[in-house]
Structures are given as C-alpha cells and as structure tokens.
C-alpha cells in the first residue's frame, strides 16, 4: 500500500514537473517570437523608408524643371514657342486603340 501511494505521488510530481517545463518552454518561445516580430517590423520599416527615400530622389531627378534647366544650360536647347502639350485625336483613333487593347488583353 505504501509503495502504490509512493508511486502515485512520484507520478503526480513528475507529471506536474513536465507540465511546468512545457509551460516555461512555451512562454519562452512566445517571448522569442515577439522579439523576432519586433525586429522584423523594424527591418520592414527601415526598408520602406529606404524605398520612400529612393522614390523621392527619383521624383527630384526626373522633375520637369530640372530637366528643362539641364536642357537649356548644358545642351543649349531652346523652349518651344508653341505649346506642345496639346494632342489632337479623333474618335476613330480612340476606337482603334480600344479595339487593339481589348484584343491584346483578351
């Protein structure tokens, strides 16, 4: 009788120790994952900032004012007298383009 109660007691103690070990291991893994998530989030933010800075740099380098200044100063080009931004298109050309695009993407 004493042996069976001692065995039960040892079994319960080992079971509790195993459960406590599982709990501690799980909590430790959760902490590690949270730390990793924070590190990955900071890395993502850093990369997004670099992308944004690159986009701003591209916009700055491709600005119309800068290109016009370089064309005038370095290349000796002149501004056009008439407005070249006006585009004349008729309905037939638009329908042809729509048809070509529709055929291409179908």
Indicate whether this model's pTM tops 0.85: no
Kindly report the number of other CB atoms within 10 A of residue 59's CB atom: 9
Question: Could you tell me the residue range of the domain that residue 6 belongs to?
Answer: 2-105
Torsion-angle region of residue 59: left (phi > 0), alpha (psi -120 to 50) or beta?
alpha
| DSSP 8-state secondary structure symbol assigned to residue 81 | S
Tokens 């056009």, residue?
Answer: 80
- What pLDDT does residue 1 have? 59
Domain count, the chain: 1
Q: What contacts 86, CB < 8 A, 6 or more positions away? A: none
Length of the chain equals 106
In angstroms, what is the C-alpha Rg of the chain? 36
Q: What contacts 30, CB < 8 A, 6 or more positions away? A: none
**In this predicted model, what pLDDT tens digit does every residue of 14-71 receive, in sequence order?**
999 999 999 999 999 999 999 999 999 999 999 999 999 999 999 999 998 888 888 8
């Amino acid at each position: 009788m004493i042996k069976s109660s001692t065995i039960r007691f040892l079994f319960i103690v080992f079971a509790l120790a195993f459960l406590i070990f599982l709990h501690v291991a799980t909590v430790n893994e959760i902490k590690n994952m949270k730390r990793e998530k924070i590190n990955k989030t900071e890395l993502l933010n850093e990369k997004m900032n670099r992308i944004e800075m690159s986009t701003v740099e591209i916009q700055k380098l491709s600005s119309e004012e800068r290109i016009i200044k370089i064309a005038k100063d370095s290349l000796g080009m002149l501004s056009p007298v008439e407005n070249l931004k006006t585009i004349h298109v008729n309905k037939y050309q638009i329908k042809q383009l729509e048809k070509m695009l529709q055929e291409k993407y179908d």
